[in-house]
C-alpha cells in the first residue's frame, strides 16, 4: 500500500491509499458540513441537501444517476452526521472513471423547486418514522440535552417545523456557504493508481468554488440531567446516558476506544457478563464517540421497565469499580486482540479503509496505515487507561429514558 496527497489550486484535498492486491476501489467526498453547522432556522438542511444530491445535476438526471450506478454494479450512498456529510461509492477498478464522474457531479445538484417540494415530503415522513422508534427518540433527546448550548446539540434530521419552513433559497445559500473546495476531502482507497486519481480530480473537481467556511471549536460544558419520555405502547424501556470523554484530537481517545470495548462491548465485556448473560436486559453497551472539540461515553440500555432502576444501579457499580480500580492486564490484552483483529479484517476491503482515511484527513490532516493503527493499540498500557479514567471517569451524567416509565 502507498499513501498519496495533493491539494488542488481551489483547495480540494485529495488523499489516496492505493493497493494493487485488492480487487475493488472505493472513494468518498468528505464534506465538513453537518448538523452542528446549521442555524435553528435551517435545522436539518445538511441531511435534506444530501437527499437532494441524488435528484439530478445539470448533466445527469435523477434517473441517470440511479441507472448508471446500477449498470456499473457500484455500491454508492451518502450519510449525514453531526460534523460531516459523506458521498461514497465502491466499484470495480475499470468502472472508476464513470462512477467518479457521477459521484463528483451530485455534490452540486440543480436543486429544482419541484424536486425540493417532493423530497421535503420524504424528509418529513422520515422524521415521523424516527419519532416512532424509541431508540432514535432517546438518542436525539440525549444529544440535545447533554450538549445543550453547544453545536453538537442540534438534530441531524431537524424538526417537523424547521423542515416544513425551509425554503429552497435557504438550501442554496447553505450549499454555497459550505460546499467549497477547501471544505472537502476526496479520499480514495484500493486498486487504482495515483496518476488516475489526480487526473480524475483535476477533470471533475478543479472548477469547484474555492474557499473554506469557519467552524467555531468550543468545549462542551454539560450539566447533570435526567428525563423520561413516556411511550405507553412500548414494551421495554430504552435508556441512553452520556458523559464526557476525550475529543477527537486528544491522544487519550485511543485508550477510550479500548475502555469502551472492555466495559461495554456487545460480547465478553463487563456489561455483557453482568447484565446480558444473566438475561436481565435485551441489550447493554458502552460506546465511545469522538467529535472535533469534545467526546462522549454513550451507555445504551434496553430492558424490562420494572428492572430499569436496578439495572442502572448495576451499571453505576461497574463504572465506579472501573474508575476506582481500573482494569486488569488480561482485560487489556483481550481488548487489544479484539480491536486489532477488527482493524485488520475491516481494512482488507477498500470500503472498510475509506472511513478512516477520509475522516482522519478531514478532521486531523493525519494519515495512519493499518499497521500504524495496530501499533497504537498494541502500545497502550494500563497506565494509559489509568490516565484516561483520572481525566474522564465513566459516568451517567445525562440520562434519557423512552418507554413506559414516567420516571424512577
| Residues known to be catalytic | 50
The grid coordinates listed for 131 are 419519532
The grid coordinates listed for 408 are 424512577
Sign of the dihedral through C-alpha 96, 69, 48, 245: negative
Strand order from edge to edge, sheet including 225-230: 225-230, 398-403, 237-245, 295-303, 283-290
3-class secondary structure for the chain? CEEEEEECCCCCEEEEEECCCCCCEEEEEEECCCHHHCCHHHCCHHHHHHHHHHHECCCCEHHHHHHHHHHHCCEEEEEECCCCEEEEEEECHHHHHHHHHHHHHCCCCCCCHHHHHHHHHHHHHHHHHHHCCHHHHHHHHHHHHHCCCCHHHCCCCCCHHHHHHCCHHHHHHHHHHHCCHHHEEEEEEECCCHHHHHHHHHHHHCCCCCCCCCCCCCCCCCCCEEEEEECCCCCCEEEEEEEEECCCCCCCHHHHHHHHHHHHCCCCCHHHHHHHCCCCCCEEEEEEEECCCCEEEEEEEEECHHHHHHHHHHHHHHHHHHHHHCCCHHHHHHHHHHHHHHHHHHHCCHHHHHHHHHHHHHHHCCCCCHHHHHHHHHHCCHHHHHHHHHHCCCCCCEEEEEECCCCC
Rounded Cα–Cα distance for residues 380 and 394 (Å): 19
Question: Rounded to the nearest 5°, which phi and psi values hold at 157?
Answer: -80, -20
| Residues in contact with 371: Cβ distance below 8 Å, sequence separation at least 6, in sequence order | none
- For cell 487526473, name the residue: 199
Amino acid at each position: 500500500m502507498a499513501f498519496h496527497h495533493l491539494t488542488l489550486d481551489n483547495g480540494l484535498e485529495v488523499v489516496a491509499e492505493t493497493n494493487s492486491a485488492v480487487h475493488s476501489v472505493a472513494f468518498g467526498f468528505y464534506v465538513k458540513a453537518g448538523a452542528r453547522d446549521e442555524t435553528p432556522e435551517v435545522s436539518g438542511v445538511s441531511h435534506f441537501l444530501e437527499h437532494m444530491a441524488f435528484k439530478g445535476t445539470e448533466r445527469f438526471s435523477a434517473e441517470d444517476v440511479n441507472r448508471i450506478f446500477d449498470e456499473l454494479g457500484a455500491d454508492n450512498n451518502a450519510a449525514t452526521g453531526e460534523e460531516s456529510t459523506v458521498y461514497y461509492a465502491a466499484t470495480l477498478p475499470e468502472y472508476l472513471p464513470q462512477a467518479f464522474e457521477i459521484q463528483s457531479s451530485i455534490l452540486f445538484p440543480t436543486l429544482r423547486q419541484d424536486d425540493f417540494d417532493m423530497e421535503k415530503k420524504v424528509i418529513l415522513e422520515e422524521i415521523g418514522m424516527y419519532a416512532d422508534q424509541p431508540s432514535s427518540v432517546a438518542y436525539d433527546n440525549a444529544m440535545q440535552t447533554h450538549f445543550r448550548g453547544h453545536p453538537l446539540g442540534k438534530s441531524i434530521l431537524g424538526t417537523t417545523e424547521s423542515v416544513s419552513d425551509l425554503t429552497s433559497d435557504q438550501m442554496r445559500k447553505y450549499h454555497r456557504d459550505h460546499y467549497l473546495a477547501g471544505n472537502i476531502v476526496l479520499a480514495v482507497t484500493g486498486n487504482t493508481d495515483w496518476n488516475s486519481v489526480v487526473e480524475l480530480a483535476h477533470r471533475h473537481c478543479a472548477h469547484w468554488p474555492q474557499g473554506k467556511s469557519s467552524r467555531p471549536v468550543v468545549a462542551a460544558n454539560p450539566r447533570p440531567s435526567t428525563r423520561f419520555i413516556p411511550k405507553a405502547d412500548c414494551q421495554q424501556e430504552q435508556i441512553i446516558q452520556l458523559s464526557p470523554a476525550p475529543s477527537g484530537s486528544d491522544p487519550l481517545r485511543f485508550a477510550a476506544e479500548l475502555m469502551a470495548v472492555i466495559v461495554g462491548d456487545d460480547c465478553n465485556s463487563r456489561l455483557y457478563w453482568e447484565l446480558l448473560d444473566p438475561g436481565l436486559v435485551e441489550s447493554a453497551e458502552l460506546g465511545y464517540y469522538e467529535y472535533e472539540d469534545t467526546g462522549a461515553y454513550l451507555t445504551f440500555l434496553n430492558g424490562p421497565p420494572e428492572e430499569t432502576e436496578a439495572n442502572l444501579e448495576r451499571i453505576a457499580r461497574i463504572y465506579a469499580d472501573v474508575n476506582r480500580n481500573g482494569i486488569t492486564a488480561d482485560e487489556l490484552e483481550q481488548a487489544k486482540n479484539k480491536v486489532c483483529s477488527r482493524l485488520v479484517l475491516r481494512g482488507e476491503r477498500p470500503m472498510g479503509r475509506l472511513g478512516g482515511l477520509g475522516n482522519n484527513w478531514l478532521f486531523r490532516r493525519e494519515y495512519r496505515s493499518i499497521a500504524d493503527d495496530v501499533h497504537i493499540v498494541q502500545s497502550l498500557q494500563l497506565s494509559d487507561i489509568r490516565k484516561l479514567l483520572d481525566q474522564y471517569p465513566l459516568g451517567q451524567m445525562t440520562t434519557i429514558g423512552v418507554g413506559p416509565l414516567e420516571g424512577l
